[in-house]
């Protein structure tokens, strides 16, 4: 492989708390290893537009505690076309980019893989609050998002108890119910509805609520993942069937923001440093991952072909603990 002198980093797809820690680690580990590090603004869009500048040790100062991404992010339609990819490669040549580090989700990694097939050296860092990237046990932003959801659940429980109400809370997770299942367990939900599992509203929601009421419960919590949706309709149905006053809350984008937790700062830092380390060692086209509590790197094509299923033990546990 050609000697790598200049690397570039971008954040792509949905923002996630801890992305800044990863950017900071890439920049500082890169410079520590004698590399020139460029920051690309607004994801692949910025690569196409040449929205690129050299990063210094100081340009990533005072960012580790900040949510979002200082590099900003975007979803670029143009990039995901043959002409867009060619344009990205030629812009990378203009800026002398020898390798590109992409912090984002599966979609962003597919883009990176396409670039690798055109000769660019790429490394992916998993950054998305949903924890829905198959090759890794952890994605940057997941812990902070879960803590935000849990804080909301605790607040909603207070008012639910005071009014003897049922609350239906919709949390993020389009294709994966990781946030829903863990926050459901941590928040004491009566029912958790996930995109991975078919559900029957009477069996999975109404019966647990009614049985809970018969055992003396004073308030009820139903967690619905975004990918299932319909929190308002579910709340209406619960109220009609049980006569328990029921309110729906859709948490939405609040889950994306906030100062990253220690887990996200440390994971972001470790993933970022490992990405640079791979390039220094002459590895290319890898995705950084956490597997069995170890940081590893996996071939990008292999990583994109992996599958990850929701943990059935967690689902079973949530049902027992809701008794």
- Of 203, 201, 204, whose CA–CA distance to 236 is shortest? 201
Q: How far is the CB of 132 from ligand ATP (least distance, A)?
A: 6
SS3 212: helix
Element (DSSP H or E) covering residue 39: strand 36-40
Of the two residues 170 and 190, which places its CB atom closer to ligand ATP in the complex?
Answer: 170
User: Is 98 annotated in the active site?
Assistant: no
DSSP-assigned letters across all residues of 144-204: HHHHHHHHHHHHHHHHHHHHT-EEEEEES-SS--HHHHHHHHHHT-SEEE-TTS---IIII
Of the two residues 125 and 193, which places its CB atom closer to ligand ATP in the complex?
Answer: 125
Q: How far is the CB of 256 from ligand ATP (least distance, A)?
A: 9
The two tokens of residue 315 are 């689902």
- Which among 130, 132, 143, 264 is annotated as catalytic? 130
Of the two residues 128 and 167, which places its CB atom closer to ligand ATP in the complex?
Answer: 128
Measure the CA–CA gap between 212 and 189, rounded to whole angstroms: 11
Q: Where along the sequence are the contacts to ligand ATP (CB under 6 A)?
A: 12-14, 44, 75-76, 79-80, 104-108, 110-111, 114, 128, 130
Measure the CA–CA gap between 27 and 306, rounded to whole angstroms: 29
Of the two residues 78 and 204, which places its CB atom closer to ligand ATP in the complex?
Answer: 78
Q: How many CB atoms lie within 10 A of CB 306?
A: 13
Q: How far is the CB of 133 from ligand ATP (least distance, A)?
A: 8
- Spatial contact of 224 and 168, defined as CB atoms under 8 Å apart: yes
Residue of minimal Cβ distance to ligand ATP: 107
Q: How far is the CB of 38 from ligand ATP (least distance, A)?
A: 19
> Active-site positions?
130
């Amino acid at each position: 492989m050609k000697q790598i002198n200049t690397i570039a980093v971008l954040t792509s797809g949905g923002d996630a708390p801890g992305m800044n820690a990863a950017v900071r680690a890439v920049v500082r580990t890169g410079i520590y290893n004698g590399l020139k590090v460029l920051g690309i603004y607004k994801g692949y869009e910025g690569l196409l537009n040449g929205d690129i500048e050299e990063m210094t040790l100081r340009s990533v100062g005072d960012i580790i505690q900040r949510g979002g991404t200082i590099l900003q992010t975007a979803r670029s339609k143009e990039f995901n076309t043959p002409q867009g990819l060619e344009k990205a490669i030629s812009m990378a040549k203009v800026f002398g980019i020898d390798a590109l580090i992409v912090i984002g989700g599966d979609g962003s990694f597919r883009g990176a893989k396409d670039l690798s097939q055109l000769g660019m050296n790429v490394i992916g860092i998993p950054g998305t609050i949903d924890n829905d990237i198959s090759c890794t046990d952890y994605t940057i932003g997941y812990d902070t998002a879960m803590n935000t959801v849990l804080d909301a659940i605790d607040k909603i429980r207070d008012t639910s108890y005071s009014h003897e109400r049922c609350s239906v809370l919709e949390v993020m997770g389009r294709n994966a119910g990781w946030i829903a299942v863990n926050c459901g367990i941590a928040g004491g939900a009566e029912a958790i509805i996930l995109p991975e599992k078919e559900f029957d509203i009477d069996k999975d929601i109404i019966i647990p609520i009614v049985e809970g009421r018969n055992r003396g419960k004073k308030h009820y919590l139903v967690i619905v993942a975004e990918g299932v949706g319909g929190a308002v309709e579910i709340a209406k149905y619960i109220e009609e069937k049980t006569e328990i006053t029921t309110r729906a809350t859709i948490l939405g984008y609040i889950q994306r923001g906030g100062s990253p937790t220690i887990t996200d700062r440390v994971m972001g830092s470790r993933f970022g440093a490992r990405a640079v380390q791979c390039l220094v060692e002459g590895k290319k086209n890898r995705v950084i991952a956490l597997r069995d509590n170890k940081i590893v790197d996996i071939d990008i094509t292999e990583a994109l072909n992996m599958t990850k299923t929701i943990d059935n033990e967690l689902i079973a546990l949530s049902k027992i603990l809701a008794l």
